[in-house]
């Protein structure tokens, strides 16, 4: 059974995926595919850490989200929650990609 991979919050913005913080019970979905015209923003007003609320709606398929969470729970039931430095990250990424294609 693969160990869980941990990431700092700052790392999430640069890595697409679905992340969960068990302490705060917050699920974060990072999608790098949207293309928004940057000309609508005066870039001088924004610094690297600023975020802009695009909508209050959450554009996530709730059924698919629940399926991914259930699959995660099944794989990691009773797992060691420490990152394994010897684990091949590509194997984990392939597993996650396969789950994403099960539509």
**pLDDT (tens digit, 9 = 90+) per residue, 13-51?**
888 899 999 899 989 888 888 777 777 766 666 666 667
pTM to 2 decimals? 0.57
Whether residue 96 is predicted with pLDDT greater than 70 in this model: the reply is no
The pLDDT confidence band at residue 85, using thresholds 50, 70 and 90, is very low
Give the up-direction half-sphere exposure of residue 9: CA atoms within 13 A in the CB hemisphere: 8
Q: What is the distance between the alpha carbons of residues 20 and 68, in angstroms, rounded to a whole number?
A: 11
Q: Give the pLDDT score at 1.
A: 39
Q: Which residues contact 50 (CB under 8 A, 6 or more apart)?
A: none
Q: What is the distance between the alpha carbons of residues 47 and 43, in angstroms, rounded to a whole number?
A: 8
Whether residue 5 is predicted with pLDDT greater than 60 in this model: the reply is yes
Whether residue 103 is predicted with pLDDT greater than 50 in this model: the reply is no
Beta-carbon neighbour count of residue 95 at 10 Å? 13
Beta-carbon neighbour count of residue 67 at 10 Å? 14
């Amino acid at each position: 059974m693969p160990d869980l991979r941990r990431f700092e919050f700052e790392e999430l913005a640069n890595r697409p995926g679905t992340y969960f913080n068990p302490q705060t019970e917050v699920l974060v979905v990072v999608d790098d595919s949207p293309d928004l015209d940057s000309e609508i923003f005066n870039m001088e007003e924004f610094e690297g850490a600023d975020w802009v609320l695009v909508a209050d709606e959450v554009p996530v398929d709730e059924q698919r989200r629940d399926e991914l969470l259930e699959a995660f729970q099944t794989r990691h039931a009773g797992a060691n929650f420490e990152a394994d430095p010897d684990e091949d990250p590509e194997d984990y990424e392939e597993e996650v990609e396969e789950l994403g294609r099960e539509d």
